[in-house]
Structure 1
């Protein structure tokens, strides 16, 4: 399906139903046109970016994925996760957009990424007192749970902000209460009694640099669940990039619709302008040639459920085909083809990292491979962010 290479200036007019390969000559972004990068498929995203450029409203992008999205491979230490959040491609994408004149920030967190014991090492903006553990899964993997102590969960964004939104769960077994503090001062006490549901708390501090804290009101066995915190500056609208990466996850873990606090209801609540989905690596790595057909079918069903949920919430979707891993090539290609089928049937844009990186061996030659079976390092994340930025900046 090889086709002509075009410049960034020619990207939009060249896409009127054409097939082939689209190349942004300045950033080296390879986007296979079987799925196409077509601005007509991102009307809402274009409007959202236009509002940011006009400084009239913010835009919000959510990035669904596994450990690659979470940043594993970009950090230091034996697990390559220390300091990883700032080097993950969603964070780098934010920096790339800002550098190109489109303000962006990532002053938020969602879940523990399935690494709660390493939370502060992965993301130093988050402080985790004793007693905070992995809870049930939602956006960003397991949420933060405390059912024992009054030690604080703290969040100190890099940028100044004057708006805060905190998402928590109500209901469940033995619901407790918690305090929200800004710079050590209690601004709200919240009870989580009631039916099982997601709830929001919003607060508007004076614009500045702040630390937000959450702590149980009583050191007892009652339970408090914290999903996310998101901070922004209402006077400087930007593209807020929300990293929802969840280590060791894949589509089946994400497509959970009940109870009302799990990933799909949480995705519905957030109603991002754009949802980027990078899943498939873990499904490939656990599949086998003997079960491949059934594995691919199940993955497609779960992926379609995620896509449907995002679209029903008013979001647009951009699919990403993952990089190569050490899994059998036949297995990987079957999943890659399934991603293209999803893009075609749902009229979605698609960014194919496997095509961009050519092969697992080529990833190694580029110095991208960090640890088997599939983790790539800082330079690969820079590469991915560059490809996404190059495409999004054409909107």
Structure 2
């Protein structure tokens, strides 16, 4: 069996790392940027921390800030036009997964115009050219979109999240600067952090996992468990913020290459049909899905228990698995994640539509335990 592993060409880490941006632009010979971000980051001055660096270096740019929390086909199409109108030769993707996913769609379509309808990119698209060069600066510690070959866009016509997998979309450069995350609200810090935990756990137990990916995911689980409560409780504490910034990237390096599972398969329709933030959707499902998957991955659950500090000598594999699930559930409660779908406005009447999309989601086949539509219905019901 041949295993493939794709990573960024170059990445920078640490508080203040955004100041590396001018050197990166000069080294690569880029001329003008399209900054892809959202209005919230513009309003609260986070985007200014990056555009100030561009201004000081006299690097010209234009801003496209129409990105939605759950980005759409329309966002991508309008961004393609914005890139062309700006005559920009590279993209600065600034934000959470939404901005970076939108930037990937813009860059791929711009260099592969045969996919201009965007919806044809769903799944594994046969693009021929790399994206317009992207320099990605995350402002959340969760999606790791700055180092993944995946992006997610909502097809408004079908009210469906399209998961797009394409080695050509990975940003050329990732700049992971925890200072860009200091103003992230507590609830969003918790949700994105638990999204990263979901990536790490699903990436560890997915069918395609192997030794190299396991190494990253086990370390990511350990780091997220340690640093997420600090980041939530002390938002300007560099220990928590930088720890989470690195941890989510570590998780992303692996899951991008080995895939995810039914937690993400079930979370995607929650966002598409009910506009639930992605991190919240993943987090609320995680303990229940972990318990469902435990029989198929007991050895890996022992490693999870060890990573979060609840393994005790002499435990059976089943006991270690339950301790691991309980600890992840406790962490979710500790950082304030809702515990019931009804808290999110999702009820029994909504489950059939959710299950229809979840069983067809591109992430679901990677689940370590075979899952049916009826299983998915029951999993949703357990957390109503």
Instruction: Point out the structure with max Rg over C-alpha.
Output: 1
Normalised TM-score (structure 2): 0.29
Structure with the higher strand share, 1 or 2: 1
- Which structure's relative contact order is higher, taking Cα pairs within 8 Å and 6+ residues apart? 1
Normalised TM-score (structure 1): 0.28
